[in-house]
């Protein structure tokens, strides 16, 4: 494929085993069928990573695909997809990041980077337009992500960077890729690069992808800039970040998981705040953002930055700066550990980013260990002498360090996430190990959000809120075309979740931040896509593209042996009702989940066992996948 509106028509392929670097044409049908971003990445992942491939072996690949809107100037069009077979789940892996890496990859003239094979010695990949080198990682291996980035900025000025930390080097299944203060985090992408001995990727480009209709595109940019400027969500996000609704989740919905999901309400923090005469708890951004914010570090092309870059001068943790904890991290290093000290939560965030650990997975894993400790299932000796109790920030910091380096008994126990930890410990600890398909859940107590419970269960990459993005619809009760949504009831969730997933796949293909989904909805995309690419793709066809992407991702998992049996929820969600708060008494019993699964599979056109049918896959123009895994009627 030749370069045309929005696309270079080029794939950069790098084999770390043979040291071969090739530029290949992008298949002609890719733009119309998959758009870009996760669309490209999911299709290539299915085509090129065979069933049964070891996620930490040379057959696995890291496929980096910037969204269609990346580097065009479209507001919040910043997201790049990192696609891989997940070491954490053994299935489909995807991590999104608002990464300068994607911008520079496009400017270097590529629609996609495929890294395959593996090196015997630590290396780095350096891309400068058409010049591509694999160089020794001398002086980089062993550094934290921050140290590696600082060193690279001196040696390679002007390059975007992506580095793994000590956790990735040690193949932690919950390790991340750090991309210039943004993290591609979920599912263990850091371990994939670590297994390939690839410490980092540096990219710099000097080109600009063509735009099909430049004048029309400039008009659209002006129109959307005004929408963002005047939208009420812009001010809330910029003032307080993604944690802006934490207090609402706590007190008005009772769905903020606390104490390893024993509670849906951070009771201790609110009692303490009340005693001290404070309106807000310590991890609420309404308390900490005005006090600690030093500036912003927005994602590329973001005109409503939720970034709250904070400076902390702590007696306990010293001086540090970090992109202030987002909502998920306020939960995973705050509520779920029963920690309400902002400086400690921020330090845990900083440390996880430096060491290269997913904040959600790491925090939930430590919370499991704290519960195991308090139940007497994990002794102080087995915890390396650490008093691993809820609310103990010093213990959480030490546990996090040990995880990253696989140090001591505790580090080895926790390094690979909660599923492996509970399997290693045994003693019934799997009953309070919070995960779906091996991935730890984000900050939504789905016992009180029934649609999100279904979304967690069927999610192709494990417990995750962004594949569907339905939490807002569920919690508010309405969004866009949806109204009268009852979060407390399990009926009629199948179509809702399938529709949300298809739409969010379009966002991930274009690289649009989901915090702007209440601005673009779906109607905003066709004019932008046409102005960039020249392709007249209407709303209906965009939704078909989203559905196609979701079916390929599901097919990848089916080929790995996943089915209905894996679309399940943690024991605690199904059997232990929320004990206190607004959502008291709510849970998702197995019979209710089964009914929701039936509805979801019907909405998807899949078999009762959750396998995409041949008819559905043929209708989506995926005949080869229909032949591979398609179920009969």
Q: How far is CA 342 from CA 96, 183, 293, 329, in A?
A: 26, 21, 12, 11
- What is the arithmetic mean of pLDDT over 424-446? 98
**What is the per-residue pLDDT for 562?**
98
d(CA 45, CA 373): 40
pLDDT one-digit tens code per residue, 306-365: 999 999 999 999 999 999 899 999 999 999 999 999 999 999 999 999 999 999 999 999
Helices 393-405 & 342-355 angle (0-180, nearest 10): 0
* pLDDT class of 571 with cuts at 50, 70, 90: very high
Burial of 380 (0-12, 13-18, 19+ CB in 10 A): exposed
pLDDT in tens, 177-221: 999 999 999 999 999 999 999 999 999 999 999 999 999 999 999
pLDDT band with cut points at 50, 70 and 90 for residue 301? confident
Return d(Cα 195, Cα 460) in angstroms, integer.
Answer: 23
In the predicted structure, residue 59 carries a pLDDT above the cut 90 = yes
DSSP type of residue 462? S
Quote the mean pLDDT of the chain. Answer: 97
What's the confidence (pLDDT) of residue 58? Answer: 98
Identify the bridge partners of residue 161 per DSSP, sorted by sequence position.
202
147 pLDDT above the threshold of 90: yes
Q: What is the pLDDT of residues 115-132, one digit of tens each?
A: 999 999 999 999 999 999
Task: Specify the residue for token string 């087995």.
Answer: 382
If you count DSSP H runs as helices and E runs as strands, how many of each does the chain have, helices first?
Answer: 27, 15
**566-574: average pLDDT:** 98
The confidence band for 279, taking pLDDT boundaries of 50, 70 and 90, is confident
Fold annotation for 10-204: Aldehyde Ferredoxin Oxidoreductase;  A, domain 1 (3.60.9)
Residue 516: count other Cβ atoms within 10 Å of its Cβ.
25
Number of Cβ within 10 Å of residue 492's Cβ equals 15
pLDDT at res. 324:
84
> How far apart are the C-alpha atoms of 61 and 15, rounded to whole Å?
10
Closest-CA residue to 518 (of 248, 252, 301, 236): 236
Q: pTM (2 decimals)?
A: 0.98
Q: How many residues in total does the chain contain?
A: 633
> In the prediction, which pLDDT does 588 show?
98
Task: Give the residue extent of every domain in the chain.
Answer: 10-204, 255-420, 446-629
- 471/311 Cα distance (integer angstroms): 31
State the average pLDDT over residues 587-597.
98
pLDDT at 144: 98
β-pair partners for 235: none
Examine the pLDDT at 82 and tell me if it is beyond 90. Answer: yes
CA-CA distance, 473 to 145, in Å (whole number)? 36
Phi then psi dihedrals of residue 560, to 5 deg: -90, 5
Helix %, strand %, coil % of the chain (to 5): 45, 15, 40
435 neighbors 361 (Cβ within 8 angstroms): no
Q: Is the pLDDT of residue 86 over 90?
A: yes
Whether the per-residue pLDDT at 406 is higher than 90: the answer is yes
What is the C-alpha to C-alpha distance for residues 396 and 364, in angstroms, rounded to an integer?
11
**What is the CATH number that goes with domain 255-420?**
1.10.569.10
Report yes or no: 59 and 115 within 8 Å, Cβ to Cβ.
no
Percent of the chain, pLDDT > 70? 100
- Asked if the model's pLDDT at residue 633 lies above 80, the reply is no
Q: What is the pLDDT of residues 502-531, one digit of tens each?
A: 999 999 999 999 999 999 999 999 999 999
What kind of fold does domain 446-629 have according to CATH? 1.10.599
Number of other CB atoms surrounding residue 319 within 10 Å: 8
Which pLDDT band holds residue 2 (cuts at 50, 70, 90)?
A: confident
What does the alpha-carbon distance between residue 56 and residue 187 come to, in Å, rounded to a whole number?
12
pLDDT confidence band for 1 (50 / 70 / 90): confident
Q: Which residues partner with 178 through β-bridges?
A: 163, 183
Residue 358, both tokens? 């997913």
Report pLDDT for 261.
98
pLDDT at 270 over 80: yes
Q: Is the pLDDT of residue 622 over 90?
A: yes
CA angle 321, 326, 331 (to 5 degrees): 115
pLDDT of residue 499: 98
Mean pLDDT of 92-104: 97
């Amino acid at each position: 494929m030749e370069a045309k509106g929005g696309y270079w028509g080029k794939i950069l392929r790098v084999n770390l085993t043979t040291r071969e670097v090739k530029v290949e044409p992008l298949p002609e049908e890719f733009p119309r069928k998959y758009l870009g971003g996760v669309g490209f990445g999911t299709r290539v992942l299915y085509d090129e990573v065979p069933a049964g491939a070891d996620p930490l072996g040379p057959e696995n690949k890291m496929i980096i695909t910037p969204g269609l809107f990346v580097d065009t100037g479209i507001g919040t069009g910043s997201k790049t997809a990192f696609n891989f077979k997940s070491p954490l789940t053994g299935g489909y892996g995807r991590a999104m990041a608002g990464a300068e890496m994607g911008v520079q990859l496009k400017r270097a003239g590529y629609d996609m980077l495929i890294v395959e094979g593996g090196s015997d010695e630590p290396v780095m990949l350096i891309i400068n337009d058409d010049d591509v080198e694999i160089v020794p990682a001398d002086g980089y291996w062993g550094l934290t992500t921050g140290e590696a980035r600082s060193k690279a900025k001196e040696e390679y000025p002007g390059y975007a960077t992506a580095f793994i930390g000590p956790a990735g080097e040690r193949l932690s299944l919950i390790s991340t890729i750090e991309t210039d203060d943004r993290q591609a985090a979920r599912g263990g992408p850091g371990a994939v690069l670590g297994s390939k001995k690839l410490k980092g990727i540096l990219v710099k480009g000097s080109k600009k992808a063509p735009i099909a209709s430049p004048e029309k595109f400039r008009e659209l940019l002006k129109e959307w800039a005004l929408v963002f400027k005047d939208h009420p969500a812009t001010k809330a996000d910029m003032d307080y970040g993604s944690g802006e609704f934490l207090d609402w989740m706590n007190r008005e919905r009772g769905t903020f998981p606390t104490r390893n999901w024993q509670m849906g309400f951070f009771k201790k923090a609110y009692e303490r705040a009340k005693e001290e005469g404070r309106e807000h708890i310590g991890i609420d951004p309404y308390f900490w953002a005005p006090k600690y914010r030093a500036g912003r570090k927005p994602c590329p092309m973001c005109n409503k930055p939720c970034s709250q870059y904070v400076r902390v001068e702590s007696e306990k943790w010293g001086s540090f700066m970090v992109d202030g904890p987002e909502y998920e991290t306020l939960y995973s290093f705050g509520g779920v550990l029963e920690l309400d000290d902002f400086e400690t939560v921020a330090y845990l965030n900083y440390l996880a980013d430096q060491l290269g650990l997913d904040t959600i997975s790491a925090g939930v894993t430590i919370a499991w260990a704290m519960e195991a400790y308090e139940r007497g299932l994990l002794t102080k000796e087995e915890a390396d002498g650490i008093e691993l109790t809820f609310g103990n920030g010093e213990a959480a910091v030490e546990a996090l360090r040990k995880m990253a380096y696989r140090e001591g008994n505790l580090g080895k126990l926790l390094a690979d996430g909660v599923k492996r930890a509970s399997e290693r410990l045994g003693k019934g600890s799997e009953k309070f190990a919070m995960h779906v398909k091996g991935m730890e859940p984000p900050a939504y107590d789905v016992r009180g959000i029934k649609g999100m419970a279904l979304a967690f269960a069927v999610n192709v990459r494990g417990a995750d809120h962004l594949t569907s993005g339905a939490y807002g619809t569920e919690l508010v009760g309405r969004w866009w075309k949806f109204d009268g949504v009852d979060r407390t009831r399990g009926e009629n969730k199948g179509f809702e979740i399938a529709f949300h997933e298809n739409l969010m796949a379009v966002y991930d293909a274009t690289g649009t931040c989901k915090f702007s989904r209440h601005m673009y909805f779906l109607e905003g995309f066709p004019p932008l896509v046409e102005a960039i690419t020249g392709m007249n793709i209407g709303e209906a066809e965009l939704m078909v593209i989203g559905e196609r992407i979701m079916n390929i991702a599901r097919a990848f998992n089916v080929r790995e042996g996943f089915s209905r049996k894996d679309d399940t929820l943690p024991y605690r969600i199904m059997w232990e009702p929320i004990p206190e708060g607004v959502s008291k008494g709510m849970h998702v019993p197995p019979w209710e989940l089964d009914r929701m699964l039936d509805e979801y599979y019907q909405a998807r056109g899949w078999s009762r066992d959750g396998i995409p049918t041949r008819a559905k896959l043929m209708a989506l123009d995926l005949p080869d996948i229909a032949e591979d895994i398609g179920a009969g009627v």
